[in-house]
């Protein structure tokens, strides 16, 4: 262990730094500091030595050059157990620095601004800070590096418990966190510059993304698999990782996946929506004006599958809805809020996981990507965030859908986007009647959707996530009483499929958009 005698403090995020510096000073620690940090500490009664006084070299070039000096890096990198290092430090008048407190120029906050220019971004790339962070982290056996204000109290507590020393175990942990910071910082710069060069719809030659650990999970998809939850460094309020657990058992790996599916589907709709998810697939979706009615309709699409499901709502859950939810076993409920009486009802079922989202409003400016791991590699794509545009729908049959039918087709199409391929949806008005998911053939999905339907499909509309390669699915739909179909189109047999729809008096519209979900 090493006693903290001298500290260098230079921070952009000045949270709690004055109090920390005062505590260090009270414990006899000499404090070196730079620029704005030094001024702030002095104004608050903390005695500091300006870095230019320590190095004998002035800060210059708008602060670009201040800590890039041998007396700084020699004081940090010199190994205390190496006689040659210590002699070199003595020969050149280098006093050891035992504690380095650094956080970096706010590059990520800068580029998040709408008015950020390339020049602004470049000027907010920190050079001296990451250099000191890496130097300190490399020499963690002799130097404690602190990059997070949350660790100020840890350092003080250890100094008090160990006669001014910070344990090697803590210094090693602080070193790891420091390298994580510089890795994230460089990744953010790489992503930003790649966007400037290649544009928002291209992918950089090196894909870097940093995730911060939120929590360990009990296990993964199966009990023999270890698992943890991580979040992106910068997330939106609509991202499910922002959900706050109000009650219930600890969330599992599978709960998070299903919860995300429920939330992503629910917030697709402007009207009040209820979504029931089982094994990542919707097994019931409905929209309308009355939440209780909407939930009952969604659940009754497939009440067997709904048992033990995950529920998503895009509006505050009412007490009436909560009472109805609790008539059956559910794993998770996620919504943007809950009436107080609804929370009281849920409290009687302590195992039900009740999750609250900050908002249900999506952000159209969010650039989202979808990541999928394969053996030895990563597939990266833009998220399937495209929305249906009524003006681009193409009616291709003799029978034209009326306005009410179009609304139902649009509803079914949105649901299909969230169902594993091959996906077939049967819907009436604004509720699902049958859902066929994840089959190897589209005909099988259509058949399963009919078999699982809890209500007659006669008079329903059909949505397919991809085109029909043959007319057989249209013939099967006609036998079941389907009156309208929405699908992407684009098959070499589109003419044959359209002719089949005309033969059966079915209206059909093409979206020109496919929604495969693997």
What is the pTM for the complete model shown?
Answer: 0.84
420 assigned to active site: no
Question: What would the DSSP string read from start to end of 174-236?
Answer: HHHHHHHHHHHHHHHHHHHHHHHHH-TTS--SS----EEEEEEES-SSSTTS-EEEEEESS--
Percent residues over pLDDT 90 in the chain: 65
Q: Is 274 left (phi over 0), alpha (psi -120 to 50) or beta?
A: beta
- Determine the Cα–Cα distance for residues 503 and 38; give it in Å rounded to an integer: 82
- Is the sign of the CA dihedral 142, 82, 77, 48 positive or negative? positive
Task: Decide if pLDDT at 274 tops 70.
Answer: yes
Whole-number Cα distances in Å, 29 to 38, 139, 394? 15, 20, 74
Under the banding of pLDDT at 50, 70 and 90, the label for residue 334 is: very high
Q: What is the mean pLDDT of residues 433-457?
A: 87
Task: Decide if pLDDT at 476 tops 60.
Answer: yes
Pairing, β 6-10 against β 211-217 = unpaired
Question: What would the DSSP string read from start to end of 239-258?
Answer: SGGG-EEEESSPPPHHHHHH
Residue among 138, 141, 249, 349 flagged as catalytic? 138
pLDDT of 365: 52
Which residues have C-beta within 8 Å of that of residue 43, sequence separation ≥ 6? none
Span 306-332, pLDDT tens digits: 999 999 999 999 999 999 999 999 999
- Determine the Cα–Cα distance for residues 344 and 334; give it in Å rounded to an integer: 16
279 assigned to active site: yes
Residue among 5, 69, 249, 279 flagged as catalytic? 279
Span 363-417, pLDDT tens digits: 555 567 888 999 999 898 888 888 777 888 999 999 999 999 999 999 999 999 9
Span 10-43, pLDDT tens digits: 998 999 999 999 999 999 999 999 888 999 999 9
């Amino acid at each position: 262990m090493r006693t903290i005698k001298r500290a260098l403090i230079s921070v952009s995020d000045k949270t709690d730094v004055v109090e920390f510096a005062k505590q260090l000073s009270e414990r006899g620690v000499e404090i070196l500091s730079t620029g704005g940090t030094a001024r702030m500490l002095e104004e608050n009664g903390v005695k500091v030595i300006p870095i230019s006084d320590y190095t004998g070299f002035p800060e210059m070039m708008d602060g670009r050059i201040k800590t890039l000096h041998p007396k700084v890096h020699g004081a940090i990198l010199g190994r205390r157990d190496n006689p040659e290092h210590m002699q070199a430090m003595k020969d050149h008048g280098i006093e050891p620095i035992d504690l380095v407190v650094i956080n970096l120029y706010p590059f990520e906050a800068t580029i998040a601004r709408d008015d950020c220019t390339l020049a602004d971004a470049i000027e907010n790339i920190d050079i001296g800070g990451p250099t000191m962070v890496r130097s300190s982290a490399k020499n963690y056996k002799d130097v404690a590096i602190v990059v997070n204000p949350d660790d100020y109290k840890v350092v003080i507590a250890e100094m008090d418990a160990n006669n001014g020393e910070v344990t090697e175990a803590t210094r090693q942990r602080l070193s790891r966190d420091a390298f994580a910071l510089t890795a994230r910082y460089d990744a953010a710069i790489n992503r930003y510059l790649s966007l400037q060069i290649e544009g928002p719809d291209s992918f950089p030659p090196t894909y870097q993304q940093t995730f911060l650990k939120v929590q360990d999970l009990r296990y993964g998809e199966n009990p023999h698999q270890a698992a943890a939850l991580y979040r992106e460094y910068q997330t939106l309020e609509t991202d499910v990782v922002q959900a706050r657990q109000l009650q219930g058992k600890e969330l599992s790996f599978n709960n998070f996946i299903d919860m995300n599916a429920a939330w992503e589907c629910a917030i697709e709709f402007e009207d009040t929506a209820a979504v029931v998810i089982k094994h990542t697939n919707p097994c019931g979706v409905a929209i309308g004006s009355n939440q209780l009615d909407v939930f009952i309709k969604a659940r009754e699409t497939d009440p067997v599958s709904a048992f033990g499901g995950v529920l998503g709502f895009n509006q505050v859950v009412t007490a009436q809805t909560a009472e109805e939810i609790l008539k059956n076993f559910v794993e998770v409920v996620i919504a943007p809020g809950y009436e107080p009486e609804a929370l009281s009802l849920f409290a009687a079922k302590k195992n039900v996981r009740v999750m609250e989202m900050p908002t249900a409003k999506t952000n159209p400016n969010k650039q989202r990507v979808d990541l999928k791991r394969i053996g030895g590699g990563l597939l990266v794509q833009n998220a399937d965030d495209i929305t249906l545009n009524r003006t681009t729908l193409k009616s291709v049959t003799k029978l034209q859908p009326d306005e009410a039918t179009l609304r139902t087709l649009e509803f079914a199409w949105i649901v299909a986007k969230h169902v594993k391929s091959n996906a077939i949806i049967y819907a009436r008005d604004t509720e699902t009647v049958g859902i066929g998911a994840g089959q190897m053939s589209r005909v099988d999905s259509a058949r399963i959707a009919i078999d699982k339907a809890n209500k007659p499909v006669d008079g329903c509309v059909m949505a397919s996530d991809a085109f029909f390669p043959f007319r057989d699915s249209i013939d099967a739909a006609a036998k079941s009483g389907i009156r309208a179909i929405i699908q992407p189109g684009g098959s070499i047999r589109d003419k044959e499929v359209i002719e089949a729809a005309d033969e059966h008096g079915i209206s059909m519209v093409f979206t020109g958009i496919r929604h495969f979900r693997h």
